[in-house]
Amino acid sequence: MTLNIQEISELLPHRYPFLLVDRVLELIPGKYCKAVKNVTINEPFFPGHFPDMPTMPGVLLLESLAQTGAVILLSLQDPDGPRPAIYLAGADRVRFRKPVTPGDVLVNEVTLLWHRKGFGRIDCKATVEGEVVAEAEIAYALSARPR
């Protein structure tokens, strides 16, 4: 299963400038997702991070991975029912291997490790041109959305 930006926007609550998934290349609901983030010089963080050496902040690499993981879980929800909020609850084994710069195509691969009673963990890897740029194990929590 693949998803375009409109379908991703129906699943995720994030919007520009914080939606960090542009396309889903592969999706196995409840198990696995491979998604793309096209990194452009127009990103709002580049003027300040860093003016002479634009580099995508590591925290946003983690957020892009977390949003890819959220697609796995939210794709299981009834499209007509209420959607739970999904929160990043922690990150372990985080490693940033190479900088991500304008023009890069960030490819996120995320696998669900386990999910029980609204909590779980995902295994995450981000690559650019086949080289690992970041990896992490992320914990998340699902909760009813506040009104």
Q: Among all residues, which ones are annotated catalytic?
A: 49
Tokens of 3: 């998803």
Q: Are 140 and 121 in contact (CB under 8 A)?
A: yes
b/e sequence 18-29, b meaning 16+ C-beta within 10 Å: ebbbbbbeebee
Please tell me the distance from the alpha carbon of residue 21 to that of residue 18, in angstroms, as a whole number: 9
Strands 23-28 and 131-143: unpaired
Non-local (6+) Cβ contacts of 82 within 8 A are 144, 145
Q: Which residues contact 130 (CB under 8 A, 6 or more apart)?
A: none
